[in-house]
Amino acid sequence: MFLHTHPYSPFIPKNATKLIVGTLPPPRFTEKVFKEGDVDFSYGSRDGYLWPILNRIFSLNLVFETTGEAIQQRKLFLAAYQIGICDIVASAEREQIDASDLGMKNIECRDLIFYLKENPTIDTILFMGGNSKNGPEYLFRKQLKDKGIKLETISSDVPREYQFKIGNRNIKTVSLTAPSGAANRAVEAIPEYKALKKKHPNLNTIDFRVLQYKEFF
C-alpha cells in the first residue's frame, strides 16, 4: 500500500476571496520525481489544465518548467488576484500508484472549515471537480454534514453552485469541471458543451473549461 501525502501546504494569500480546492496531485509530486514540463507547485502537473487555463484567461505568459521562476510566477498571480489553494486531502493510501480519486483509501482530510474561519475574506470555494465519490466537493460535503452545516442550491446548471453559512457569513461553492484529461469524456457528455460544439465545431474540451472558469475567476 502506497501512502500518498500532499506535498504542498495550503497557499492562502492575505485577504484571499477565492479558494481553489482539489484532492491530491500525482504521486510523483510527493516523491519529487518530476517530468519535463512539471512545476513544483500545486496543480503543476504537465498533464493538468488549471494553469494553462488561467494562463489563457489572464494572459500570464507563464513558464511551464521545474524552476523557481515558474513557482514564483504562480504565487505572485495568486496573491495579486486574491486566490488561495487548499486541497482537502492531506493523505490517502493507494493500492495502485496513480492520481485517481476513486483509488484513495483511508483518506485523511484537512479541516476546510478551520481554514475558512482563519481567512474571513474568502467568499467562494472553487472545487476542481464535482460531487463524484472521493472528489473534493464530496469530501467537503461530509465535513459540512459532520458540523451540522446546511448546503443550499443556488444553481443546478453546470457548473453547479451552492452556498452555506458560517455564522452570518455566506460562502458560495462552485463545482468547476475538473482540469484533468481524465475528465474529458465527461465534458463531452455535458449538454452545454454539446450545444457550444454544434455552434463552434473547432471548440475543444479545454476551450470549454476556459469559458466556464472565466466567469468565476
Per-residue pLDDT at 103: 76
Q: Which three cell numbers stand for residue 153?
A: 442550491
pLDDT above 80: residue 87: yes
pLDDT above 90: residue 2: no
Stretch among 42-51, 64-73, 176-185 having the lowest mean pLDDT:
176-185
Q: What is the DSSP letter of 177?
A: P
Q: Are 172 and 179 in contact (CB under 8 A)?
A: no
Indicate the average pLDDT of the chain. Answer: 95
CATH number at 156 reads 3.40.470.10
User: What is the identity of the amino acid at 63?
Assistant: V
How many independent structural domains does the chain possess?
Answer: 1
CA angle at residue 59 from 50 to 42, to 5 degrees?
30
Per-residue pLDDT at 104: 85
Contacts of 133 (CB under 8 A, 6+ apart): 101, 102
Taking alpha carbons only, the member of 168, 19, 26 closest to residue 98 is: 26
Per-residue pLDDT at 131: 78
pLDDT above 80: residue 141: yes
Mean pLDDT of 8-33: 96
Tell me the sheet residues that pair with 201.
none
pLDDT above 90: residue 85: yes
DSSP string over 12-33: --TT--EEEE-----HHHHHT-
Gap between the Cα atoms of 50 and 136, Å rounded = 15
pLDDT band (50, 70, 90) for residue 91: very high
Gap between the Cα atoms of 22 and 90, Å rounded = 11
- Give me the percent of the chain exceeding a pLDDT of 90: 87
From residue 66, give the alpha-carbon distance in Å to each of 69, 74, 101, 166: 9, 12, 25, 39
pLDDT band (50, 70, 90) for residue 182: confident
Mean pLDDT of 111-129: 97
Per-residue pLDDT at 88: 97
Tell me the sheet residues that pair with 3.
93
pLDDT above 80: residue 102: no
Between residues 173 and 134, which one has the greater pLDDT?
A: 173
For residue 69, count CB atoms less than 10 angstroms from its CB and return exposed for 0-12, middle for 13-18, buried for 19 or more: exposed
Phi-psi region of 15 (alpha: psi -120 to 50; beta: other; left: phi over 0): left
Q: Are 81 and 11 in contact (CB under 8 A)?
A: no
pLDDT above 80: residue 3: yes
pLDDT above 90: residue 77: yes
Domain span at 212: 2-216
Tell me the sheet residues that pair with 175.
127, 160
